[in-house]
Chains A and B, each alone.
Chain A
Amino acid sequence: MKQLPKEFYAAMEELQAVDFVLVELTLYLDTHPEDYPSINQFNQFAKERRRLKRVVESMYGPLQQYGNSYSDYPWNWAEGPWPWQI
């Protein structure tokens, strides 16, 4: 099973932090639809997440399936390390 580079862990943690902020903002915006600054922040973080996802996937491989992530060649989404193994 391929070893993950050291930078992967920092990038993954950052991705998790951005994901958490997006979850919090989504829940907040569900009850505050007119809050313009928060929507701005949400969009910034969504854009940031797309960049981070590319960084993480360049080292790890596809994070999601069914078209949510590009696939490498050969088709290797089932190869390790799995999220609980990293």
Chain B
Amino acid sequence: MSSHRRVWYPYVSPFDPCPPIKAKAYSTPPSLFLGYQPPNLEQFTPMEALKIGTLWKVFYDPWYSPYEVSTEEDQS
């Protein structure tokens, strides 16, 4: 599980029509904590950046589903 991941636990009511989802995960991308972006951050190559959607390594925040083992190690 990526370290950006946080979990919250919705209230389970006896009148819920469907089986409850006990834990719901959400991602807190690094851009939330970075504030003003410092200059000269490390970058990806253009081809990599195009594929993963960000130019700067610090903002890389992949969403791996729990069933999908995260292939590369997490750079956070």
- Main SS at interface, chain B: loop
Residues of B within 8 A of A13 (CB): 47, 50
| 21 A/B residue pairs, CB under 8 Å, sorted by A | A13-B47, A14-B46, A14-B47, A16-B50, A17-B46, A17-B50, A18-B46, A20-B46, A20-B49, A21-B46, A21-B55, A24-B49, A24-B54, A24-B55, A28-B37, A31-B36, A31-B37, A32-B37, A32-B39, A37-B40, A38-B39
Closest A residue, CB atoms, query B40: A37
Tally chain B residues at the interface, Cβ within 8 Å.
11
B contacts, CB < 8 Å to A: 36-37, 39-40, 46-47, 49-50, 54-56
